[in-house]
Chains A and B, each alone.
Chain A
Amino acid sequence: DQQVKQNSPSLSVQEGRISILNCDYTNSMFDYFLWYKKYPAEGPTFLISISSIKDKNEDGRFTVFLNKSAKHLSLHIVPSQPGDSAVYFCAATSDRGSTLGRLYFGRGTQLTVWP
């Protein structure tokens, strides 16, 4: 049973425009959310995170929005660049009160940014 869902397997955006990647979750115990980026033949790398006590976190061109009532988060990339082309994974954890940090991942969204 997929607790973290990324329903769009792919997204294609023109360079300079905004990319919006969406993620839904079903487990109301999740209280910390992360986005990872993955290039082919490499492992995922951490991109940005957000705690459930916030509704927005920004880091340069990347902003993550969290809507707890809808159990939905989104990653905005503005402006999109060709180097952003990668698979983006949404991940969540309910281990905030412990030290484990076990992550549950979505299936990923392939972002393609074209010139």
Chain B
Amino acid sequence: NAGVTQTPKFRILKIGQSMTLQCAQDMNHNYMYWYRQDPGMGLKLIYYSVGAGITDKGEVPNGYNVSRSTTEDFPLRLELAAPSQTSVYFCASGVGGTDTQYFGPGTRLTVL
């Protein structure tokens, strides 16, 4: 049972490049979330999904897109990378409601 896995661990992008951050969970959780954590700040919700085929925006969705074609996977897409997207990105999953969320180890992204 690997829990929540994220790839890559680190990435440097040039302004305007695109990339997809991968997230997978093997706990059969319906709910999945993407957060970003800027230096000295708390985690902010980017997008979330309540099940395959269903996604919705969080607090800071601009510049990102998501899809959820399976229960296990929830990739986050950056189309035109900007320096403001330099951050650590965490994926999480859970059964929903007030139950705990399980986080992946994070992807550290730098946009230069």
Contacts and interface: CB of A to CB of B under 8 A. Distances in A.
B100 interface: yes
Contacts of A96: 97-98
Contact of A95 (B58, B98, B103): B98
B94 A108 contact: no
B53 interface: no
Given A105-B42, A106-B42, A100 B101 contact: no
B105 A42 contact: yes
Contacts of A36: 103
Interface in B85-106: 90, 92, 94, 96-106
A102 B96 CA distance: 9
Could you tell me the dominant secondary structure of chain A's interface residues? Answer: loop
Chain B contact patch, size range? 20 to 34
Contacts of A102: 45, 48, 58
B44 interface: yes
B96 A46 contact: no
Contacts, number: 68
B98 to A, nearest CB: 4
Contacts of B43: 44, 89, 103, 105
B56 to A, nearest CB: 9
Interface size class of A (residues with CB under 8 A): 20 to 34
A115 interface: no
B106 A43 contact: yes
A93 B41 contact: no
A62 interface: no
Nearest to A105: B42
Given A34-B100, A99-B50, 12 more contacts: A9-B40, A41-B105, A42-B106, A43-B106, A95-B98, A99-B97, A101-B31, A101-B94, A102-B45, A105-B42, A105-B43, A107-B42
20 contacts: A2-B42, A9-B40, A36-B103, A43-B90, A44-B43, A46-B101, A51-B98, A93-B98, A99-B31, A99-B50, A100-B96, A101-B31, A101-B96, A101-B101, A102-B45, A102-B58, A103-B101, A105-B42, A106-B42, A107-B40
